[in-house]
Amino acid sequence: MSDNPMSTWILLRGLTRESRHWGNFIDVFKEQVAATRIVSLDFPGNGRLHHLSSPCSIGAMVEFLSLRVARAKHFAAVSSVSVVAGRNGRSRMGCAHPQEVKAAVLINTSNASI
| pLDDT tens readout for residues 48-97 | 999 999 888 878 888 888 887 766 577 787 876 777 766 554 557 777 77
pLDDT of 24 over the 60 cut: yes
CA–CA distance, 24 with 95 (Å, rounded to integer)? 31
Instruction: Say if residues 92 and 15 touch (Cβ distance below 8 Å).
Output: no
Instruction: Say if residues 102 and 69 touch (Cβ distance below 8 Å).
Output: no
User: What are the beta bridge partners of residue 10?
Assistant: 39, 75
Phi, psi values for residue 34, rounded to 5°: -55, -40
CA–CA distance, 83 with 31 (Å, rounded to integer)? 27
For position 51, what pLDDT does the model report? 94
Give the chain's mean pLDDT: 77
Claim: this prediction has a pTM higher than 0.85? no
Ordered domains of the chain (ranges, CATH)? 8-107 (3.40.50.1820)
pLDDT of 12 over the 60 cut: yes
